[in-house]
Chains A and B, each alone.
Chain A
Amino acid sequence: MATGIKDKVAIIGMGCTRFGERWDVGAEELMVEAFQECIEDAGIDKKDIQAAWLGTCMDEVNVGKSALPLSMSLRLDKIACTRVENFCASGTESLRGAVYAVASGAYDICLAMGVEKLKDTGYGGLPAGGSSSGSLNWLWLPALTAPGSFAQLASAYAAKYKVPDDDLKLALAHVSAKSHANGALNPKAHLRKAVTVEQILAAPIIAHPLGLFDCCGVSDGAACAIVTTPKIAKDLGKKDFVSIKALQLALSSGEEMGFNAWDGDHFLTTSKASTEAYKEAGVKDPRKEISMMEVHDCFSITEFVTMEDLHISPRGGALKDVMDGFYNLDGGVPCQVDGGLKCFGHPIGASGLRMIYEMYLQLHGRADKRQLKDPKLGLTHNLGGFPFMNVCSIAIVGKYGV
């Protein structure tokens, strides 16, 4: 009988680069930058790391295949390294690999790295795959972009809950305005300018009804974590350390795309993965027990419907919570505390670990101007792919034994 991951693995060090258009560095340098902070934070020697995972998604415009870019950039000497890729969940997948390896007893100390260098393509937005997106997909799937696929949530949500288009658009503007306000407080964030709801509403449309400010930044960056067992953490002299409470992953079976049940307005996977994560972490009432969240706000509408799939807002209730400021920094469950994908940025493979990084800083009281009062549990959420076909990962972290 599986017992879950709760409190079986400790995070003893983390690092995260400044995200943004890092014209100065490539993926290799970004990994070194994140790692230096991380290993210093952990206070161990590089030789203590026995295995490492690398999460990166767009390898074609980035590091290339295999985990060699990690082992060679960090000069990890003949240890086990594995590259994982699962769309936007790649960073959390890297953590999952390291955490499970420690929990299994196979290794004592492992590294999870996530990196993405997206600004070497020569154009804005995520890279277009064309026929390299799958030999069959290319022959029939619409030429989707990320904003175009997620924007469809809005048309479906508005139709299902009979929300006037303008009301939804306004609520989405509030979602983005909140993240901009948070990002402005974060020195490592890609976008550090507060914007008004009026500015957001007036921005040019990217994919109807999403405008420019409904879309997250396409950024370069890396983030990483060093994990070990609680016992080793204690032996290393760590007190009051952070541990993993839940790690869940859920992927589409194709039901959303092929079976006439889903209305296109939310994420079946997130709904399931969050339920499992709460069970694993022992959370009964997430609206009360989750202190803070970093969710996958690739687009404002994604964050908006995710509030319902995380069972924090009731179905059809996200609009009220958003307009009430429930997810603001001073609200009931602050969301996108570090600025989110929206403003901290979204180097795909790094994002999952960057979210954990903010939770880690908050739990240790190191979040400076963004610091929340006495947070207990932090939830992170990634959504890779498209509303109709996706990968959802959820992590819950908190202080060990609390």
Chain B
Amino acid sequence: MIGIVSYGGYIPKLRLQRMSIFASMGWFAPAVMAVAQGERSMCNWDEDSLTMAVAAARDCLAGMDKKKVDALYLCSTTLPFADRQNSGIVSTALNLNENVLTADFTASQKVATTGVATALDALKGGEKKSVLVVAADKRDAKTAYFYEMWFGDGAASLLLGTENVIAEFLGSYSISRDFVDHYRGSMSKYDYNWEERWVRDEGYSKIIPEVVNGLLKKCNLTPKDISKFVFPCFFKREHRGIAKTLGFSPEQVVDNMHEVCGETGAAHCLAMFISALEEANPGDKILVASFGQGSDALLFQVTDNIKKLPARMGIKGSLANRKEVDSHQKFLKFRDLIQTEMGIRAEAPTQTALTTLYRKRDFLLGFIGGECRKCGTRQIPMHDICVNPDCGSVYSQDPVEFADTSAIIKTFTADMLSVSVDPPNIYGMVQFETGGRILADFSDCELSDVNVGKKVKMAFRKRYYDKERGFHGYFWKAIPEAEA
């Protein structure tokens, strides 16, 4: 059987209250009030599509044998590198086998379903046994327009394979059509959007029905056979209307998460699909369609195995882990959409030695440390000579992963002098329960969230952006866990 083996989701903890956008820019663009309901997810300043992809993929791989993954497809329209394979960074961060086939699927909002369909083809062909698909997007929009309200940030991941399938693949149907509702030139920061009425009437309202009918006909099914119908569309009325025209009842249509998250770009159809999987029962048929210069529609049927899947954050858990942000200015600053005085201190050099990065990639991207064969002491970063003062063995360490090891805070501070997009800069020493410690930046927290002895989890985050050279630097940070 071919299908979905596991899923994972990641929605950033921060949720911008949409009314804060209206409060700051409503004088300029009163019309945005029409979509100012609820909240939209927003990346912390140190999050982007890559970091969210890693988070969703880690969630997806929980309880899975990741060394068996033989392909990784990363789907996004907002990847940090135009020429340095982004999926390769994700693969290194996840410590997948180096013999994995990695590929970036990009340049359309429909790429997540394209990635899944391609993965399923590879599984059908028999060359691959386990393919990880991750979709993530962090889309920027000029301020004071609908898209700033509509968009959210997020990531979703599916592990596709042939064993322990939780949702069997039943069929797919694709349309490729150069319908340019929006585009972003290769050197442009923002999308150029055509009139919404046209996008709604000629785009969503025609392409979605066409692809869904195509798939249903191919599978010899009718809308009544489908338990849940998933497709992204930020026009709330059309979202319901299109489904109704197709013959789906409102109960069959999966919520587009506008009020709680916003549309997470290329990841959104998978994020919505996962939200449906989280509620699904064995036997349910779920149809998911994307939208972007055409559409891919995919049909799955949930199996009994879904009950055996280990607990995970998923989309539901991610949405529940939230912190409200009332400051639209903070949103703009985090995305570098407004210029603030950063001081001369911020002019320190930011060049990355690519040789160093390459030599230490297992540590810097994969958070790999060492364990001494002689004394058993774990240490990160790994050194040629064991750190245990009573050992000191030379070349005695085996690599060991630290990312999923539970850890506590040993020391901390909140630094107002250090250059930071979100002062104070909170950092300190984190100690792993199975041995080893590291000085780490903390993220997704305030001073009141940290204390000596408190538990933290490690997360792959952005450390710096070298504007002069266009380089994004990543490392692992400590995230204090929410109080139980």
Contact = CB atoms under 8 A, between A and B. Distances in A.
A122 B345 CA distance: 9
Interface of B: 343-346, 348-353, 356-357, 360, 363-364, 377, 379-381, 383, 387-389, 410-420, 424-425, 427-429, 431-432, 435-441, 447, 452-453, 463, 473, 475
A258 B415 contact: no
Contacts of B349: 130-132
Contacts of A152: 411-413, 428-429
Interface string A141-183: 1111101110111111011000000000000000000000000
A135 interface: yes
Given A135-B356, A148-B415, A121 B344 contact: yes
Contacts of B440: 142
A123 B344 contact: yes
28 contacts: A122-B344, A123-B345, A130-B349, A132-B349, A135-B353, A138-B352, A140-B363, A140-B381, A143-B420, A143-B441, A144-B418, A144-B439, A147-B417, A151-B413, A151-B415, A155-B428, A156-B411, A156-B452, A159-B452, A205-B424, A207-B415, A207-B424, A208-B413, A255-B389, A257-B438, A260-B431, A264-B410, A264-B411
Nearest to B351: A131
A254 interface: yes
B356 A255 contact: no
Contacts, number: 146
Given A129-B348, A159-B453, A148 B437 contact: no
A129 B346 CA distance: 10
A130 B429 contact: no
A125 B360 contact: no
Contacts of B357: 139
A31 B380 CA distance: 43
A145 B420 CA distance: 11
Question: Which of B388, B414, B431 has its CB near the most chain A CB atoms (within 10 A)?
Answer: B414
A345 to B, nearest CB: 18
Contacts of A125: 345, 417
B424 A208 contact: yes
A80 interface: no
Nearest to A205: B416
A206 interface: yes
A148 B417 contact: yes
A206 to B, nearest CB: 6
Contacts of A158: 452
Contact of A258 (B363, B414, B437): B437
Contacts of B415: 144-145, 147-148, 151, 206-208
A167 to B, nearest CB: 16
Contacts of B475: 139-140
Contacts of B441: 142-143
Given A121-B344, A155-B452, A207-B414, A258 B473 contact: no
A216 B463 CA distance: 29
Contacts of A123: 343-345
Interface of A: 121-123, 125, 127-132, 135-136, 138-145, 147-149, 151-156, 158-159, 204-208, 253-255, 257-260, 263-264, 387-388
Contacts of B429: 152, 257, 264, 388
A131 B352 contact: yes
A253 B452 CA distance: 24
A155 B414 CA distance: 11
Nearest to A159: B452
Given A132-B348, A139-B364, A155 B416 contact: no
Given A148-B415, A264-B410, 9 more contacts: A131-B350, A139-B356, A139-B475, A140-B475, A145-B415, A145-B417, A145-B418, A159-B452, A206-B415
Report, nearest first, the 10 A-B pairs whose CB atoms are least far apart. A130-B348, A148-B415, A159-B452, A152-B411, A142-B427, A258-B387, A151-B413, A264-B411, A135-B353, A208-B414
Contacts of A263: 410
Given A140-B475, A156-B452, A255-B389, A260 B427 contact: no
Given A155-B412, A388-B429, A254 B352 contact: no
Given A128-B419, A140-B364, A159-B452, A148 B413 contact: yes
Contacts of A122: 344
Contact of B439 (A131, A138, A204, A257): A257
A259 B377 contact: yes
A121 B441 CA distance: 26
Contact of A260 (B344, B352, B436): B436
A260 B349 CA distance: 33
A254 B418 contact: no
Contacts of B360: 136, 139
Contacts of A140: 363-364, 381, 463, 475
Contacts of A264: 410-411, 429
B439 to A, nearest CB: 6
Contacts of B387: 253-255, 258-259
Given A121-B344, A139-B364, A142-B427, A130 B416 contact: no
A272 to B, nearest CB: 12
A149 B417 CA distance: 11
A153 B428 CA distance: 10
B353 to A, nearest CB: 4
B463 to A, nearest CB: 8
A235 to B, nearest CB: 47
A370 to B, nearest CB: 31
Contacts of A127: 348
A227 B130 CA distance: 74
Question: Which of A129, A130, A154 has its CB near the most chain B CB atoms (within 10 A)?
Answer: A130
Contact of B356 (A136, A145, A204): A136
Given A156-B452, A159-B452, A259 B417 contact: no
A149 B415 CA distance: 9
Nearest to A208: B414
Contacts of B419: 128, 143
